[in-house]
Amino acid sequence: MSTTSEPQPGQIVHVGRQPLYNPAGDVVGYELLFRGAGTEVAASRRNAYATSQVIVNAFTEFGLPELVGDHMCFINLTREFIVGELALPFEPGRVVLEILESVEMDDEVIAGVSRLVEQGYPIALDDFVFGLGHERLLGLASYVKIDVLDGDEDRITSVVRACRKYPDIKLVAEKVETTEHIMLAHELGFELLQGYALSRTQVVSIATLAPSRLRRLELLGALTGPEADVDHIVSIVTSDPALTFRVLRATNAASGGLNRRVSSVHQAVVMLGGQRIREWVTLMLVSDIAEASDAHLSTAMARARLCQTIASRLDASADSAFIAGLLWGISDVLGVPVVDLVGRLPLADDVTEALVNGSGGLGEVLSLVRAYEGADATALSQLKVSPADLAKAYLSAVGWSVRTVQGVLGPPASRPGASDNVPTPA
């Protein structure tokens, strides 16, 4: 993760991360916040779009272990998520769901919060004050966050006493910005503290490649049919490099901490299940992120397709070869070392070894494609597939990749600024 590096072709996504401390000064969690740019010091949006961006980026771009380590994290929820209009695509566990003070309390919201608590999600009440109706949630909350910025000790003490009637609640002093605020929080027995006196929000950034909006819509349609066809779903996912990457990352969120490994998109789709994929895709659509250029998508797709085509001639799995080739292409698009990329994915050992060390049958596939793309005659002469067969397979892969990308995004002429460059054979 970096806060300074410029992206290669693709884009940079951001998440704000502010620590929460216990009274001893140890970091025990992080609140994850929307940031539209690396230079933002405050959230420019606090709506369903912002929450969707935070969830998608945290789980499928950074990965929670990389973002918060072993700590819990707090994520703000808007009404759409509370009442079930937008589904949470991750299981209960390490995420505390914050109910914003701006959410208007009504019976539908109360029922939604009750349902989330029954499912096992811990709830925090953000910027809690009496009189807005949020006191109706005190019996459901695990955390209550109280603003101490104004230093009104009588008000703060009164809220603390009222909350202490609920023994399961932990109190969080937020907007702790002075030494006096810290002393007051300690005097009143707050279990957690958060604010600029302890640590400012850090904006963490990472290079990414976004799935196309149209392909996400197509996938959503395939998932909402009466009988979802797994093979059709896999074909849609594998036609978009970024969608493939995110589905793989989402398997981490679905694994519940188990060390599950996948060697194909089909395995990842089966592991997630149609409902979970539909929830992730819905959030991706809400997040509305821009696409990469045609040329970069086509190059990554052609490389993956070529690996898939020649895999059987080298006694390697075609599905695994496709995913290895695609991840190699994505690493080039993002401008990040492939070893850093695969470290964030639940890949089978043979796929990882092929990408990192070039070993095994998959490694031989990648070496062959690399030699062909680099026009390395010496390397090609030592490999098992003839240059003529490779040229035929490459041209077929390029044609497939161009048709696939244009099928997703439409012809270049219909998209202002779109490039019609395509990969050329070596």
Taking the CA atoms of the chain, what radius of gyration do you get in angstroms?
24
Rounded-to-integer distance, Cα 175 and Cα 147, Å = 6
Q: pLDDT band at residue 410, thresholds of 50, 70 and 90?
A: very low
Residue with tokens 């190059």: 299
Burial profile 87-116: b = 16 or more Cβ within 10 angstroms, e = fewer: ebbbbeebbbbbbbeebeeeeebbebbeeb
Q: What is the pLDDT of residue 416?
A: 38
Describe the crossing of helices 230-238 and 265-272 by its angle, rounded to 10 degrees: 120
What is the signed CA dihedral for 304, 307, 309, 313, rounded to 10 degrees? -170
Q: What is the pLDDT of residue 328?
A: 86
Q: Are 89 and 55 in contact (CB under 8 A)?
A: yes
pLDDT tens string 357-393: 998 989 988 988 888 877 666 666 666 666 677 778 8
Written as six digits, the tokens of 129 are 């004050």
Q: What is the pLDDT of residue 289?
A: 35
Rounded-to-integer distance, Cα 243 and Cα 216, Å = 8
A 10 A CB-CB count for 69 gives 10
Rounded-to-integer distance, Cα 416 and Cα 306, Å = 30
pLDDT tens string 270-327: 877 777 776 776 666 555 433 446 667 677 778 888 898 888 888 888 888 887 887 8
Residue with tokens 């690399």: 370
Rounded-to-integer distance, Cα 141 and Cα 123, Å = 5
- The residues spanned by each domain of the chain are 11-206, 210-426
Q: What is the pLDDT of residue 246?
A: 78
Written as six digits, the tokens of 143 are 């955390």
Q: Which of 154-168, 169-183, 307-321, 382-396 has the lowest mean pLDDT?
A: 382-396
A 10 A CB-CB count for 119 gives 10
Q: What is the pLDDT of residue 259?
A: 55
Rounded-to-integer distance, Cα 336 and Cα 205, Å = 13
pLDDT tens string 65-83: 888 888 999 999 888 889 8
Identical topology for domains 11-206 and 210-426: no
One of 3.40.50.1240, 3.10.129.10, 3.40.50.360, 1.10.3210.10 is the CATH number of 210-426, namely: 1.10.3210.10
A 10 A CB-CB count for 6 gives 8
Rounded-to-integer distance, Cα 227 and Cα 229, Å = 6
Mean pLDDT, residues 190-206 taken together: 90
**In whole angstroms, what separates CA 365 from the centre of its chain?**
29
Query: The domain at 11-206 falls in which architecture?
Result: Alpha-Beta Barrel (3.20)
A 10 A CB-CB count for 315 gives 11
